[in-house]
Amino acid sequence: MGKHWLRCGVGKERAPLGLPVSLRSAPQTSAGRPGLLSLGEPQATASWRGTGALSPCGLPAGSQSIILPVHNAEPWLDECLRSVLQQDFQGSMELSVFNDASQDQSAAIIERWKGRLEDAGIPVVIGGHDSPAPRGVGYSKNQAIAQSSGSYLCFLDSDDVMMPQRVRLQLEAAAQHPTSIIGCRVRREPPNSTERYTRWINQLTPDQLLTQVFTSNGPTVIMPTWFCSRAWFSHVGPFDEGGQGVPEDLLFFYDHLRKGGGVVRVDQSLLLYRYLPDAATHSVLETTIWTHRVRFLEERVLPRWAAFTVWNAGRQGRRLYRSLTAEARRKVVAFCDVDENKIRKGFYCHEDSQERPKPRVPILHFRAARPPFVICVKLPSPDSLLRAACPHVAIPVQPSPWRVSPCSPPCRDGAK
C-alpha cells in the first residue's frame, strides 16, 4: 500500500458563529406524525448523546468542515473549489480534502487553491495516498472526516458546485434537527440529463422524504447534498469501505433510519449536481440496489403485516415476489392489476419454488384486491392507467418502483 500523507493548514480566523416505494396512511404512527409508519427507532434517538470530536487543528464549536473526496477530478475541481471560496457563511469553516490516488493534475489544483482559501480564512486540510489504485468513495470520505475538525459536516463531490448560501442555510436546518440528514434541492448539469430523477429529488414532500425510501432512486436526499452534525455521523457511521460497486450512501442512509434519524430538505437549489456517465455511482449494479431494497422492506415493513397484496402481476411484481424470503412470500395473498390479459390467467405459479405443491397466487382486478399493498410500478405509465380507471384518484409523483400502501384500493366505490 502506498504512503499516506496529511497536512493541516491554518488561515486567518473567521467570525465565530453562536450557536425525515411510499408508505401512506399506515396503521401505526411515528412520534408526532399520526398516520405514518415509523421507519426509525425513537428509542435510539432518545438515548443518543452527541459527543464532539476535534482533530489536531481543531476548530471552535459550531464550525463547519466541508468534506471533499477527490479522484481524477481535474476537469471540474477549479469550479468546485471556487464555490467553497464563495460561501457567504461567516462562521468558522474548513475544507478537508482527501486525494484518492489521482493520476491527473488534481493534487496540483488543490495545492494552488490552498493558499487562496487560507488567505480568505478557510483552513485547508489535505490528505491522501499514492497507491496504484484508488480505495473508493467510502474510504475517501471516512478519511476526510477523520482528518477534519468541524462540529458539522458538509459533503461535497469534486465535480459539483455549491451555491454561496449552502453552508449557511443547511447549518440553520441542522441546528434545528440535530439527528437528521439535511439535504437540498439541486440544479442538474446538463439540464436535461436526468429530468425525471431530478424532478423526484426536488419535489418530494416532507412526508415523502421518509415514506419513499424504498424506491429504486436510493436516498431521498442525495449524498452530494448531505449535511449533518459530526456527533450524529459518528453515531451512525462510518461509510462502508467496500469500494467500487458498493452503494455506501444507501447503506449509511438505511443505518441512519434504523437509528431513528430524520430527513430534512432545504427547499432551495443549493448545488449544481453534475451528471457524468462514467461516475462511480454507475458502477453499482442494479441487482445490488434491488437486493438491499428488498431486505430493507422485509426488515422495516413486512413484519408488521400478516398478509399483503402485490400491485402488478407483471415482471416487476413477479420479480419482487421471487426475491422475498420464503416466509415473506407466504404472506402474499394475491397480485392485482388493471391488465385484463393478466387477470384472465387467474394465478401466478412460482415455478422455481422448492415447495410442493408449487405456490399459486391469485391475480385479481385491483378493485377486488384488499390492502395492504406493495405497489411495483413505474410512472408515468401507472399514473395514466390508474387515472383512466379511477379519474378521482390523486397520484403522487413517483418515478420508479416500488412503494407501499396500507390503504384501500383507490376508487373502489367510485371515489377516493
- The CATH number that applies at residue 232 is 3.90.550.10
Choosing from 286, 313, 345, the residue where a domain stops is: 286
Choosing from 258, 286, 314, the residue where a domain stops is: 286
Residues 196, 110, single domain; the answer is yes
Residue 300 resides in a domain = no
**pLDDT attached to residue 218:** 86
Residues 355, 279, single domain; the answer is no
Residues 240, 371, single domain; the answer is no
Q: Which residues on adjacent β-strands are paired with residue 169?
A: none
**pLDDT attached to residue 48:** 55
Residues 334, 262, single domain; the answer is no
Residues 26, 132, single domain; the answer is yes
Contact 171, 94 (CB under 8 A): no
Q: Which residues on adjacent β-strands are paired with residue 154?
A: 66, 227
Contact 378, 301 (CB under 8 A): no
Residue 176 resides in a domain = yes
Residues 282, 364, single domain; the answer is no
What's the pLDDT tens digit per position in 334-383? 999 999 999 999 989 876 666 667 788 999 999 999 999 999 877 544 33
Choosing from 286, 313, 342, the residue where a domain stops is: 286
CB neighbours of 283 closer than 8 A, spacing ≥ 6? 244, 245
In this structure, the number of other CB atoms found within 10 A of the CB of residue 415 comes to 10
Cell reading at 335: 397480485
Q: Can you tell me whether residue 68 is helix, strand or coil?
A: strand
Residue 411 resides in a domain = no
Residues 281, 312, single domain; the answer is no
Contact 97, 125 (CB under 8 A): yes
Residues 113, 178, single domain; the answer is yes
Closest by alpha carbon to 160, among 84, 59, 259? 84
Which residues of the chain have a pLDDT value below 50?
1-47, 51-57, 380-401, 408-416
Residues 384, 239, single domain; the answer is no
In this structure, the number of other CB atoms found within 10 A of the CB of residue 61 comes to 14
**Could you list the residue range(s) of the whole structural domain that residue 314 is in?**
305-405
**pLDDT attached to residue 51:** 46
Contact 38, 30 (CB under 8 A): yes
What's the pLDDT tens digit per position in 6-53? 433 333 333 333 223 333 323 333 333 332 333 443 334 434 555 444
Question: C-alpha angle 212/301/286, rounded to 5°?
Answer: 55
d(CA 293, CA 64): 32
Residues 137, 75, single domain; the answer is yes
Residues 316, 260, single domain; the answer is no
In this structure, the number of other CB atoms found within 10 A of the CB of residue 179 comes to 23
- Quote the number of domains for the chain: 2
